[in-house]
Structure 1
Amino acid sequence: MSLIASDTQRIVVGLGVTGLSCARFLAKNGMSFSVADNREIPPGLDQFRQEFPDVTLSLGPFQAGQFDAADELYISPGISLREPVIASAIQAGVKISGDLDLFVQSARAPLVAITGSNGKSTVTTLLGAMAEEAGLKVAIGGNLGTPMLDLLSDDSELYVLELSSFQLERCAGVNAEVATVLNVSEDHLDHHGSLLAYHQAKHRIFRGCRQALINRDDMLTHPLVPDSVRQWSFGLQAPGREAFGLRDEAGAVWLCFGDEKLIAADEIHLAGRHNLANALAALALGKAAGLEMASMLSALRKFKGLPHRCQHVADVDGVAYYNDSKGTNVGAAVASLRGLGDRFQVVLLAGGQAKGADLEPLVETLQEVGRAAVFFGESAPVLSEYLGEGLPSQCVSGMDEAVLAASRFAQSGDAVLLSPACASFDMFRNYEHRGECFVDAVGRLAQGRLQ
């Protein structure tokens, strides 16, 4: 590695996957930098030392004023801009950037940028599959899978990125060909401080975009953009001209573009009406990006969904079990409850770290479509108090106990849904681990080995 000597002091703040990708990008472009992390042993430490043995690395708690003399900070998404040492640097006039800024400066192919409180991973992955089906060389990642800087290539014909509010809040402009906020509900309030600040961070995705996609069912997704920005829309009601939506005809539900029927809902391998909204969003984004409709519909027919997102696990004694462990906020859990509530009475498994969110809307929806509830984790007492005597419920201490309790509440023809509405870190390594524990417990239940 050969870095060009410079008086410019660049610091990558936060290691991990994003920090490593920033380091690789800066090194590849010959730009000198150092790295700081407030953890003694951050993720990716060994890999960093192997790749960049000569780069200065500062570990351990940040010190007051540590970054005030820097020229530019590349801040990893997990570090809040309200962190005192970061706020001090901002006050001192230090330029704040992130991996998204570096990506925008370097990408040469069109970008479809996707954010939202829920569904963004499904829409990103599905749109990527549609572009591949259409024969494009597409790079898919961002907050999902491969870090965006590692995707940069002169061969790419299209980028499809999932972007988080954490990434967006420190980006000057995204300059996407097509940008969307799929939906907005309370999430990450412990990081952003308020729903307004969270909403504002999400809407930074529209900065510099040429086309925008809005959700007609969620006014919080509608951007303030110039008239020159073409706007598309999707929603779960009948669409108008040049819009995507659902139509009921002869007892069948169809995904439509205007008056044109595109595909019947029963041809799609995704559970719940919220996933019909995700499919409509992907079709709309692809249409805006110039993808052929036939290729998009072919990809949609093949798409089986993502693990831990309203994923059908098994049927046991006439009860369908669904793993929606990625439902880490109230809006996601409510969407899954309503989606399955069209077909089933639902026994809900929920709980964990609420991240400052109001859990009452979850309980209100549960009372509409639920048969019973099983609560676990830090938020279990709060959820139980909200539900009161409205439905049968039980608080448990582990996933095996939760699945066993749910199986006793459920009746043939019901669904058991793990959609926790909370983060997982009080009991599990991450949401994937939580979902895997659920799938394992359901498997043992089916074999008669869960006790």
Structure 2
Amino acid sequence: MIPSTICVAGLGVSGRAAARSLLRDGHHVVVVEARDGDRQRAAAAELAGLGAEVRFGAELPSEASLVVTSPGWRPDQPLLVAAAAKGVEVIGEVELAWRRRPEGAAPWLALTGTNGKTTAVRMLTAMLRAAGHDAVAVGNVGTPIVEAVEQPYDVLAVELSSFQLHWSSSLAPRAAAVLNVADDHLDWHGSMEEYARVKGRIYQRAGTIVCNADDPWSTRLAAPYAGQGSGAAPVTGFTLRVPARGQVGVVEDLLVDRAFVADPDGGAEELATLADVRPFAPHNVANALAAAALARAYGVPAAAVRQGLLDYVPDPHRIAHVARVEKVDYVDDSKATNPHAASASLAAYPSIVWVAGGLLKGAEVDDLVRRAAARLRGAVLLGADRARIREALARHASNVPVVEVEGQDTGVMDRVVTEAARLASPGDTVLLAPAGASLDMFADYGARGEAFARAVHRLASGSPR
């Protein structure tokens, strides 16, 4: 049951969606926003027009008996600390949506992971639609869940971040997957163990559990639930190897299912081919297998899995080929915002001039550099934490030439691309896989990728800035 007076913390996308939904139900909504700017004032005016009370600051409203927080608000934020001290429950927009979903609402197929979430959830949505289901991608991508649960969809493909899972306690998806877990957001969660624990919350009440059999953390998080799920394969693994019983995996050039079939001991079903996975890279095959396992848990036929992969349109800045200039390929993977994602990207190419740097968010890069060292022909570093990457290169790839590009002006990426072109030889790939977040220099990872692409196109045309 939801109390009548509710504090919504934050005027972001999820906060506005939560406030609108609660107002439609007649609740007294007090929205609190810590930042005061033009965007926040415009959002406040919109919600005030709908009947919300909006306050700027960080003080807990004394009358609030529930707080719905934006996912990015850390638990040590003063308003949330005050709520905990008073015994006021704090939940997120995802948990609010789960509690408010009407009887007979669409089931959730949910996934989380350090990397690949958006790709996998969009692949999953395409598979569901190919099977004839009215499905939509929601959560950390696309439509806010609190709005989607009010619509008559057949099924929801739900992407959940660690922040969203931190503020969720009762979710019970039809099926749930943890794609992978690696160092990320440690500045928010405090430790790798806590970050992984929060990711594992997605499994607590799931009907079918899907884990990455090639990822130690994913399998460890799924292990306590073995035998507790429902259906033919309560705990289903996905793997880039030949699948065992109860897994989906790869046999030669085929994606095959040995989990959701009549005879998992003696039989398997072809789902798709490696050529159907676009853009092709090992980590994208893993994303496709995870999406397929979730879809199969919902009863999607094999033909729709393949058609969904063919229908899927990759989002920008995910190992996107920009251009070939003088027999050197330039690839934008600006979405590789942590070392785990960058490692997967680097593994897709044999000979690389690496463009890296940004905000590492507390993550270590030594393992990343050690694994990639044999593939590196050069590195061009930019951003706030470039020195840490340079030091790791000195330790583990001392023969690799390194160029640091200083500054945060609009011309930085042109200098980066010029230096990368100087280091590259025919047959190399200049790969933007930063291993860090973009906010030290750019509005977001998309802006960083677009700056890289523009600089590459200027290089190709021979035009100065």
| TM-score, normalisation: structure 1 | 0.92
| Structure 2: distance between partners of 1:58 and 1:204 | 32
Verify: 1:282 aligned to 2:291, yes or no.
Answer: yes
| Structure 1: distance between partners of 2:321 and 2:99 | 41
State the 1:368 CA deviation. 2.6
| Structure 1: distance between partners of 2:160 and 2:39 | 21
Q: Residue in 2 aligned with 1:163? A: 160
Q: Residue in 2 aligned with 1:403? A: 417
Relative to 1, partners in 2 of residues 1:7 and 1:448: Cα closer, same or farther, differing over 3 Å? closer
Verify: 1:412 aligned to 2:426, yes or no.
Answer: yes
State the 1:67 CA deviation. 4.9
Verify: 1:85 aligned to 2:82, yes or no.
Answer: no
| Structure 1: distance between partners of 2:305 and 2:249 | 16
Q: Residue in 2 aligned with 1:378? A: 384
| Structure 1: distance between partners of 2:79 and 2:399 | 47
| Structure 1: distance between partners of 2:65 and 2:191 | 29
SS of residue matched to 2:181: coil
**Contact 1:319-1:412 at 8 Å conserved across structures:** yes
Q: Residue in 2 aligned with 1:292? A: 301
SS of residue matched to 1:33: strand
How does 1:333-352 map onto structure 2 within 5 Å?
A: 333-338=342-347, 340-341=348-349, 344-352=350-358
Q: Residue in 1 aligned with 2:365? A: 359
Q: Residue in 1 aligned with 2:19? A: 23
State the 1:42 CA deviation. 7.0
One-letter code aligned to 1:127 = L
One-letter code aligned to 1:188 = H
Verify: 1:440 aligned to 2:444, yes or no.
Answer: no
State the 1:305 CA deviation. 1.7
How does 1:48-447 map onto structure 2 within 5 Å?
A: 48-53=44-49, 54-60=51-57, 62-63=58-59, 66-67=60-61, 70-107=64-101, 108-222=105-219, 223=222, 224-225=224-225, 227-229=227-229, 230-248=234-252, 253-258=253-258, 259-338=268-347, 340-341=348-349, 344-388=350-394, 389-397=398-406, 398-447=412-461
**Contact 2:3-2:65 at 8 Å conserved across structures:** no
One-letter code aligned to 1:234 = F
| Structure 2: distance between partners of 1:370 and 1:313 | 20
Verify: 1:46 aligned to 2:46, yes or no.
Answer: no
SS of residue matched to 2:225: coil
Relative to 1, partners in 2 of residues 1:256 and 1:42: Cα closer, same or farther, differing over 3 Å? farther
| Structure 2: distance between partners of 1:9 and 1:103 | 17
Q: Give deviations 1:56-115, integer Å, cap 9, x for gaps.
A: 21113x24xx35663110010110012243123213211111111121123311100110
One-letter code aligned to 1:418 = L
| Structure 1: distance between partners of 2:145 and 2:40 | 17
Relative to 1, partners in 2 of residues 1:25 and 1:7: Cα closer, same or farther, differing over 3 Å? closer
**Contact 1:15-1:43 at 8 Å conserved across structures:** no
| Structure 1: distance between partners of 2:327 and 2:319 | 18
Which runs of 4 or more aligned residues in structure 1 lie more than 6 Å from their structure 2 counterparts after TM superposition?
Answer: none
SS of residue matched to 1:168: helix
RMSD of aligned residue pairs (Cα, Å): 1.8
State the 1:346 CA deviation. 1.1
- Equivalenced residues, count: 436
| Structure 1: distance between partners of 2:122 and 2:39 | 25
**Contact 1:441-1:450 at 8 Å conserved across structures:** no
**Contact 1:75-1:97 at 8 Å conserved across structures:** yes
Q: Which runs of 5+ in 2 are unaligned?
A: 259-267, 407-411
State the 1:415 CA deviation. 1.1
| Structure 2: distance between partners of 1:106 and 1:45 | 28
| Structure 2: distance between partners of 1:45 and 1:166 | 25
Verify: 1:37 aligned to 2:43, yes or no.
Answer: no
Q: Give deviations 1:182-212, integer Å, cap 9, x for gaps.
A: 0000000111111111111111111211011
State the 1:44 CA deviation. 4.8
**Contact 1:111-1:177 at 8 Å conserved across structures:** yes
| Structure 2: distance between partners of 1:69 and 1:290 | 46
State the 1:391 CA deviation. 0.7
Q: Which runs of 5+ in 1 are unaligned?
A: 1-5
One-letter code aligned to 1:32 = H
State the 1:270 CA deviation. 1.3
| Structure 1: distance between partners of 2:415 and 2:33 | 39
| Structure 1: distance between partners of 2:82 and 2:149 | 32
Q: Give deviations 1:207-255, integer Å, cap 9, x for gaps.
A: 211011000011211322262311111011110123111222xxxx322
Greater Cα offset, 66-75 or 174-183: 66-75
Relative to 1, partners in 2 of residues 1:154 and 1:116: Cα closer, same or farther, differing over 3 Å? same
One-letter code aligned to 2:131 = A
| Structure 2: distance between partners of 1:371 and 1:7 | 60
Greater Cα offset, 268-277 or 178-187: 268-277
| Structure 2: distance between partners of 1:289 and 1:103 | 21
**Contact 2:19-2:47 at 8 Å conserved across structures:** no
**Contact 2:352-2:431 at 8 Å conserved across structures:** yes
| Structure 2: distance between partners of 1:75 and 1:423 | 23
| TM-score, normalisation: structure 2 | 0.90
One-letter code aligned to 1:144 = V
| Structure 1: distance between partners of 2:383 and 2:249 | 38
Q: Residue in 2 aligned with 1:3? A: none
**Contact 2:68-2:92 at 8 Å conserved across structures:** yes
